[in-house]
Chains A and B, each alone.
Chain A
Amino acid sequence: MARTPAELVGARPEPPFEITFDDRTITALPGQSVAAALWGAGILAWRTTRGTGRPRGAFCGIGQCYDCLATINGTPNRRACLVPARPGDAVTTQEGNGHAELSV
């Protein structure tokens, strides 16, 4: 019986690569979304809400709910469940609308 999803489908992925989440380095597989790479590292939250500052992460998994918004390579409001992970990506926790530096 399979113990991991990769075993179940007999995955032979191309070589893994590293991305960063805040101060952590995590391993991603080619073909995974940023959200999948974060889940793979046991990370479930990468955003805090505008109103109450509560943590959020992927919910619908298919680009509909916009709960998984992350700041990726400095650009906020990217749907982590849709954006493919690329070597060296820097993912940072998005606070509120992600435009704090613009507030007056």
Chain B
Amino acid sequence: MPSSASDLYDVAIVGAGSAGLSGAVTAAELGLSVALLDTSAQVGGQFYRHPEPALGAVRPEALHHDWSAFRSLHRRLESVESSGVTRLAGHHVWAVTRDDADNADAWTVHAVTGADGDGERPVRVRARALLLATGAYERQLPFPGWTLPGVVGAGGAQAMLKSGLVLPGRRVVVAGSGPLLLAVASSLAHAGARVPAVVEASGYLGYARHMRTLAANPHKLAEAAVHGAALLRHGVRVRTRSAVTAVHGRDRVEAVTVSRLDRDWRPVAGTGRRVECDALAVGFGLAPQIELATALGCATRPAKDGTSALALDALQRTSVPGVWAAGETGGVGGAQLAIAEGELAAISIAARLSGRPAATAGGHVRSLRRRRDRMRAFADVMAAAHRPGPGWTRWLDDDTDVCRCEEVTAGRIREAVTDLGARDARTVKLLTRAGMGWCQGRMCGAAVACLAATGGDVPPSAERRPLAVPVTLAALASLAEPNTTPEPTGSDSTDGG
């Protein structure tokens, strides 16, 4: 296995969630050397995020659906970790570059360890193939009061609960759109929070038009039934075609206003009802995290939920030779789909590196592809059902901060569009600084793109940013230095329980 920066791994995998983990163990079992990089100290990604061993969780599975799938991947990782997989935990990857011409078929992954003021150090990893399994982040749409402390991402509340065993409040309204809301509400209720309401902007009728796809995915229906039953048991009411249109409180959440929406997500005047709560967990689905891929020139496709996803072929290849992707990067579809795609990608990579394309023609690959296609079809139904309607911009007032980092209000963005002629998110950014802050537009990007397009219903353009995460100038300067050898992370014994 490579042990210094000048050595070459067969494959570098960015992201150790469901897709990356599945890809890593499959690739190693096929005899490839693997570098597995992730920002977290743990493997499992966001879906299988779990408490650190020191928290002594005896039943981490109580906060998870399908924990056994993760345990199985983790066991396989432990058995290949000494031979095939170099785990690089706590590595924030900020760019991938193609190697110089004399080494045409190699990639260099640039990362920093010890981020956030903890002895930041640059690291470079070289590999013959690249598998991007960077997952997704939560899509947010702003509304009056959404910057008040106590308003947290729905996925954020879930993440803090899964890893830190904490809640943002005692009475938590869950709002936004997408299947994650039911999972979050049921986790919060299980963990002791009162959930006065789940507020879903879409109707669920969108699913009913696709009965055949639903029937072909019984495991997904079972998952929904589990969450639905849990919500019933906890007396949680789900209000569809509704949204939180105002948050009340001076320095923290005291209540929210829930309004009815019409078909296009336009709030219906006079329908606002106040719901007392001390926290609000909100999210409008997930958006694929594809900055590293788009910076390499990988083609994207508009997904049915209005996000941009990577365009992938039947064997998980991006449009750039040597670069594969799996999981949410190719369109949001959940952990089981990600596990299937990670395996498929690894088999495809092994076939390519060994020069034996026939290795992807067997019955196992055919069955993996069928499962993948079936789950992708379900993901498309979900995506279409929860695509934001163009009317959501009507619940903004001019004072609502759209860009949380730079504190740019909806009024200033509208001014840039109507008075100054901006027609896209990039021009709005240059005029107002919206999307120019620390988060690099992840929180406001979808909203700014809609406001810039004025109609409200335009898929956001794929962002191209040369750096995927903020890095220090020192890390950039180190590009010229040779000594940036990775130090592998050992597997801790209780990880994955």
B55 lies within 8 A of chain A by Cβ: yes
Residue of A40, A51, A66, A83 with most chain B CB atoms under a 10 A cut-off: A66
Range of interface residues on chain B? 35 or more
Given A8-B192, A62-B46, A65-B439; A39-B166 close (CB under 8 Å): yes
Given A2-B192, A13-B54, A61-B152; A49-B407 close (CB under 8 Å): yes
Complex: A61 Cα to B137 Cα, angstroms: 11
A103 lies within 8 A of chain B by Cβ: no
Specify which of A5, A14, A33, A65 is in contact with B191 (CB 8 Å cutoff). Answer: A5
Complex: A67 Cα to B138 Cα, angstroms: 14
A91 lies within 8 A of chain B by Cβ: no
B369 lies within 8 A of chain A by Cβ: no
B442 lies within 8 A of chain A by Cβ: yes
Specify which of B53, B437, B442 is in contact with A31 (CB 8 Å cutoff). Answer: B53
Tell me the minimal C-beta distance from B376 to chain A in angstroms.
Answer: 25
Specify which of A6, A7, A51, A66 is in contact with B439 (CB 8 Å cutoff). Answer: A66
- Set of chain B residues within 8 Å of A19, measured between Cβ atoms: none
- Set of chain A residues within 8 Å of B157, measured between Cβ atoms: 61
- Quick one: which of A18-69 are within 8 Å of B by CB? 29-33, 35-37, 39-40, 44-45, 49-52, 54-67, 69
A29 and B55 within 8 A (CB):
yes
C-beta contact mask, B245-270 vs A, less than 8 Å → 1, else 0? 00000011000000000000000000
A40 and B164 within 8 A (CB):
yes
C-beta contact mask, B168-195 vs A, less than 8 Å → 1, else 0? 1100000000000000000000111000
A31 and B54 within 8 A (CB):
yes
C-beta contact mask, B218-237 vs A, less than 8 Å → 1, else 0? 00000000000000000000
Residue of B nearest to A75 (CB): B117
Residue of A9, A36, A45, A63 with most chain B CB atoms under a 10 A cut-off: A9
Residues of B within 8 A of A (CB): 39, 46, 51-60, 62-63, 115-118, 137-138, 147, 149-153, 155-161, 163-169, 190-192, 251-252, 279, 404-407, 437-439, 442-443, 470
Additional pairs, 12, CB under 8 Å, beyond known A55-B251, A61-B155: A5-B167, A7-B192, A9-B59, A9-B62, A31-B53, A36-B163, A40-B164, A40-B166, A44-B279, A58-B156, A62-B137, A81-B156
Q: Which 9 A-B pairs have the closest CB atoms?
A: A36-B164, A61-B156, A31-B52, A66-B438, A31-B54, A10-B58, A30-B54, A45-B149, A12-B56
